[in-house]
Amino acid sequence: MPQRNLTERLYNLRRDRSSGYEKPYKPALLLSLIDLIERGDIIRNQILLTDDLISRYKDCIAIVGSADDVTKIAYPFWHLAGDGIWVLYDFSGQPLYRPAQEGIGSLSVKRIRESMHHASLDEQLFIALNRPIERNLLRDAIISRYFPKHRDKLRASRADFLQQSEDKADDGGALENDPARSAAFSKTIKCVYDFQCAACGIRLRYQDLNLVDACHLVPFSLSFNDHPSNGVALCKNHHWALDRHLIAPERVAGQLIWKSSKRLDPRTDDQHLLIELEGQPLLLPRDEDFYPADASIEWRMERLLG
C-alpha cells in the first residue's frame, strides 16, 4: 500500500459518534503504538497488549480525551482490526476478529490477552512505521486529522516518553551513555531472547520487571555496535561471569556452546554453576538473524581466562 493510501486509511478510522462527537480512542492508540515503535519496544510485527502500551495510551488519552472518556484500551485495540489496521490472531493462528462480530460481549484487557496470540499490523504500515521519515509523516497526519489542538502537548509528552530509559546501566555503567540508545538495545535483546537467560534458561518476569540483562558481546565502547548480533540476554549471575571472562560463547561444529574458564576450580562447590555450563548450548533467539555474530563470539573467546 503506497504512503498516500496508508494516510487515507489512517484518516478514515471508523469512530464511535454515539455521544455526539468522535471518540479519540483509535487514533490515540495508534499514536501510542508509534511511540513504542520509535522507542524500540516493538521490533517485530507481533504486537501484544502490554502494560507499556496501556500506560502510554492512558497518557495520550489524558491529553486528547474529555472528562467522560473511558480509558479502556481493549475497545480500540479490538476494533482497529475492523479498520484493516491490523489482524488479531488467536493461538491457533486464526484471525480473531470478524467484521460481523461487533457484539462480542464485554471486551477487556484480560479477555484479549487470554484469546489473542498477537496482532500483526498491515505489513506496509509496519514497514513505514519503522522508517523514521515515514513514521513522522504518518504521526503528523494522525495529529493533524484528529488532534490538531493538542499538537504541542502531544509533542512534549512524547519527548518525555522517549527519554524514559527502562534500564539505567547496561554493561555495568556504559561508557557511551546514551539512555535512548542503551534502552533500545536492551529492549531488543530482551525481546529476541524472550526474556530468557541464554546460559541457564531462567526467565522471571514480574509485572513490567524482568530478571535478564542485555549484554554486549563486544562492549559498545569498543565496537559502537548495537546490533542484536552483538548481544545476548543473561541473568545477573551469568552476566557477571561473562563480564569477568569466566564464561564465553564458542562455535563448535556449527553449534554455539558455552565454554567456561579453566581457572574455575571443580573442587569448590561455589564455582559449579559456571563449570557445569561447559559444553551446554546457547539458548538462542528463534530468528537466526539475531544469533551472535562470529566476530563477537571470537572477541569473547579470546578473552576467556585460561
Interface ranges with Zn ion (CB under 5 A): 197, 199-200, 235, 238
With cell 495529529, the residue in question is 143
Nearer to Zn ion, 197 or 246 (CB): 197
Nearer to Zn ion, 34 or 235 (CB): 235
Closest approach, Cβ 253 to Zn ion, in A, equals 24
Closest approach, Cβ 228 to Zn ion, in A, equals 18
Q: Indicate the burial class of 14 (C-beta count within 10 angstroms; 0-12, 13-18, 19 or more).
A: exposed
Q: What are phi and psi of 20, to 5 degrees?
A: 95, -5
The answer to whether 201 and 277 have CB atoms below 8 angstroms apart is no
Nearer to Zn ion, 126 or 240 (CB): 240
Closest approach, Cβ 289 to Zn ion, in A, equals 23
E-assigned strands of the chain? 86-89, 118-121, 205-206, 209-210, 213-216, 231-234, 247-252, 255-260
Q: Strand pairing of 209-210 and 213-216?
A: unpaired
The answer to whether 64 and 154 have CB atoms below 8 angstroms apart is yes
The alpha carbon of residue 81 and the mean position of all alpha carbons in its chain are separated, in whole angstroms, by 21
Reduce the DSSP state of residue 89 to 3 states and report it: strand
Strand-pairing partners, residue 209, are 206
Closest approach, Cβ 258 to Zn ion, in A, equals 10
The answer to whether 31 and 136 have CB atoms below 8 angstroms apart is no
Closest approach, Cβ 92 to Zn ion, in A, equals 32
Hey, what's the cell of 95?
A: 484471525
Closest approach, Cβ 238 to Zn ion, in A, equals 4
- 87-126 burial, b if ≥16 CB within 10 A, otherwise e? bbbeeeeeebbeeeeeeeeebeeeebeeebebbbbbeebb
Nearer to Zn ion, 22 or 167 (CB): 167
Nearer to Zn ion, 199 or 284 (CB): 199
Closest approach, Cβ 201 to Zn ion, in A, equals 7
Nearer to Zn ion, 35 or 170 (CB): 170
